[in-house]
Amino acid sequence: MKMRRALLLVLCISLWAGPPARPEETPAKPAAVPFKLLPTRHITVQITINGKGPYRVVFDTGSPFSLISSKVAKEAGLSAKGGSSLLGLNLFGSIEPVKARSLKLGAVSAENVPFLVMDHPTVEAMASAFGPIDGILGFPFFARYRMTLDYQSEQMTFVPNGYEPTDILQALMNSLMSQNKAEPRLLAPLGLWGFSVEKEGQDEAPGVILSKVLAGGPAALAGLQVGDRLLILDDRWTDSVADCYAAATVIAPGTEVRGIVRRHGKEMEIKIRPVAGL
Amino acid sequence: MTPLLAVPSFLLLLVAAPPAESPKPAAKPYLVPYRLTNTNHVLVRAKINGKGPYNFILDTGAPALFVVPAVCEKLGIKADKSTWGRIDSFELEGRVPLKDVRVRVEKPFQLEGMNGLGLAGVELHGIIGYPVLARFRIEFDFTKQKMSWLPLQFQPPDPHPLGASANPPGMDVMVSVLKVLGGLLGKQAEAPVILRGFWGVVLEDGADGVVVKTLLDGGPAATAGLQPGDRIVKIAANNVKNLDALQKQAAKSAADADLELSIVRGGANRTIHLRTIKGL
């Protein structure tokens, strides 16, 4: 219960709901940002926050949050409450959600960038081995851009893409606190394809078998036949019935896509265009 | 206890890594389908020695390709004493072939925590880290459905270990506690799926709503007696003003659902009963 109470408190101070502002002032051309690799091959970059810094942070595609050390948070004026910890719980810092008014990463400028104030032990361990490291730049930052990552030239590029990352802290808290089992994942094809597929439980071979192809539908027009084994649809493996639906949930009606089927032991490519309908 | 939520979601790992092998050069980028998990991790799928697919997270914070022991055991992949193994073929969805890849046979506490609590909404089987990522110029763009992976002629140097002390203290114990909590709450790693039911009808947006264009022979809509030109105005009690709204309503029903449709045909209102089937 103690844990859940503590979690609930975290829930209550989750203040960064609402859409993040789009990055501004960043040129439409890709902004190149050089990075440096630590001996552990972690990517580090230099950022300034609210005009302070530069600070060295780890760039991490595997982090759903961006983190900043309590020291830098204080220095850059990030802590709205003056850096007070949560009921004296200060194991990894206050874990307070804050927003950087401005953040600069090389030629990239962004506004209202969310961080959690947290002294992550792994970051601290790296800092003690390799010199100051003050946080992690994660998903909430890089998701706003079309980003390329190139270890060979030790460079990233950024172009704003209008994507607005969702605040998952809230959703994760809800999920954690909820008594419910996982919310089902609804797979609704965007278009009408005109076939059905099946797969027996003991069938572990790639692909699914077409059990129905409706006359006049897109599948029939594409030359698909009952008994064909659909292996790939629009670059996606269709190794289960659910996989097949999952592929169809992202293909808009009217879009021609390629697929691979196996018929009488031979693989062949098909082109198929779903239509509006269901 | 406060940081317990945040910590299992971070994938910042420190281990020693042996050499990776260089891929064959290719002129154009591979298009790699991905999805975002509920934890906003970038998930791609891969087949190991032709089996799978398995779910992997892309993580520049990981110094190796990690595959959980359960999968390695199933596939007969042996690990040495320091938990390193080798797999003959690692193929990413989008037909990205990687051969003879070193793999760390291990379940990092982050994966354990996320799977145990069902946080990601999908069961995670491993993490793709630096030795694989560094062999491509990778484009991330969450407004697109696929990533772009351009192979580089580059043999990435090995990471150096930082040492075991880098792992957060007591994390394994915390994760065990979380797993018990997740178990008590009935959390599953993989969310169940609902597959939308099939109608067999081609539709278009008309001036006053959704109009039936054609019917597929033998489909539920034809069986139910819908006709070209019919205007669908309601599903059960829900008004559907356009195709988008109709799709959203229809998406709530799987196969074998009985739906009551209100339609307008030749100026007259009618009710049609349609039973969905499997299909797409």
A91-110 pLDDT, tens digit each: 566 678 899 999 999 999 99
Cβ atoms of residues B2 and A9 within 8 Å: yes
Mean predicted lDDT score pLDDT of chain A = 86
Is A60 in Cβ contact with B12 (below 8 Å)? yes
Is residue B194 less than 8 Å (CB to CB) from chain A? yes
**Residue B12: predicted pLDDT:** 66
**Residue B175: predicted pLDDT:** 64
- Of the pLDDT bands very low, low, confident and very high (cuts 50, 70, 90), residue A21 is very low
> Which residue has better confidence, B27 or B145?
B145
Window 224-253 of A, Cβ < 8 Å to B: 234-237, 239, 241-242, 244-245, 248, 250
3-class DSSP assignment, residue A277: strand
What CATH fold (topology level) applies to the domain B201-275?
Answer: Pdz3 Domain (2.30.42)
Q: Would you say domain A7-177 falls under CATH 3.20.20.150? A: no
Q: What is the mean pLDDT of residues B214-238?
A: 95
Query: With left for phi above 0 and alpha for psi between -120 and 50, is residue B74 left, alpha or beta?
Result: alpha
> Which residue has better confidence, A10 or B61?
B61
For residue B50, pLDDT over 90 is answered with: yes
Provide the token pair at A98: 């804050």
In a mutagenesis test of the B interface, which of A2, A33, A61, A234 is the best target, namely the one with the most B β-carbons within 10 Å? A61
For residue B183, pLDDT over 80 is answered with: no
**Residue B13: predicted pLDDT:** 65
For residue A6, pLDDT over 70 is answered with: no
Q: What is the mean pLDDT of residues B117-126?
A: 90
A34-75 pLDDT, tens digit each: 999 999 999 999 999 999 989 999 999 999 999 999 999 999
**C-alpha span between B238 and B260 (Å, rounded):** 10
CA distance B205 to chain A (A): 9
Q: In this predicted complex, what is the ipTM?
A: 0.86
Q: Name residue B65's beta-bridge partners.
A: B128
**Residue B189: predicted pLDDT:** 82
- Give me the percent of chain B exceeding a pLDDT of 90: 67
Is residue B176 less than 8 Å (CB to CB) from chain A? no
**C-alpha span between B35 and B145 (Å, rounded):** 8
**C-alpha span between A12 and A2 (Å, rounded):** 15
Indicate the residue of A165, A216, A235 with minimum beta-carbon distance to B31: A235
> Which residue has better confidence, B166 or A73?
A73
**C-alpha span between A74 and B152 (Å, rounded):** 42
How would DSSP label each residue in A166-233?
A: --HHHHHHHHHH-SS-PPPEEE--SSB--EEEE--TT--SSSEEEEEE-TTSHHHHTT--TT-EEEEE
How would DSSP label each residue in A60-84?
A: -TT-SS-EE-HHHHHHTT--TTTT-
Specify the pTM: 0.87
Chain A CB contacts of B163 below 8 Å: 125, 129
For residue B119, pLDDT over 90 is answered with: no
**Residue A207: predicted pLDDT:** 97
CATH number of A195-272: 2.30.42.10
Which of A262, A167, A249 is CA-nearest to residue A208? A262
**Residue B122: predicted pLDDT:** 92
How would DSSP label each residue in A46-62?
A: EEEETTEEEEEEEE-TT
Is residue B183 less than 8 Å (CB to CB) from chain A? no
- Give me the percent of chain A exceeding a pLDDT of 90: 71
- Give me the percent of chain A exceeding a pLDDT of 70: 83
Q: What is the mean pLDDT of residues B104-126?
A: 89
Please tell me the least confidently modeled range out of A40-49, A119-128, B13-22, B259-268: B13-22
Cβ atoms of residues A196 and A69 within 8 Å: no
**C-alpha span between A125 and B173 (Å, rounded):** 20
For residue A24, pLDDT over 80 is answered with: no
For residue B224, the surrounding DSSP H or E stretch is: helix B220-224
Within a 13 Å sphere around the CA of A65, how many CA atoms are in the beta-carbon half?
Answer: 28
State which residue of chain A sits closest to B162, comparing Cα positions. A40
**Residue A170: predicted pLDDT:** 77
Each domain of chain A, given as residue ranges in start order, spans 7-177, 195-272
Indicate the residue of B14, B58, B157 with minimum beta-carbon distance to A122: B14
A156-211 pLDDT, tens digit each: 999 999 999 988 887 787 777 776 666 788 999 999 999 999 999 899 999 999 99
Is residue B58 less than 8 Å (CB to CB) from chain A? yes
Pick among 3.40.50.300, 2.40.70.10, 3.30.460.20, 1.10.260.40: CATH of B2-155+171-184: 2.40.70.10
How much of chain B is in helix, strand and coil states, percent to nearest 5?
20, 35, 45
Is B63 in Cβ contact with A63 (below 8 Å)? no
Residue limits of CATH 2.30.42.10 in chain B: 201-275
For residue A258, pLDDT over 70 is answered with: yes
**C-alpha span between B10 and B129 (Å, rounded):** 13
Within a 13 Å sphere around the CA of A179, how many CA atoms are in the beta-carbon half?
Answer: 0
Which of B40, B196, B246, B147 is CA-nearest to residue A277? B246
Indicate the residue of A3, A188, A276 with minimum beta-carbon distance to B196: A188
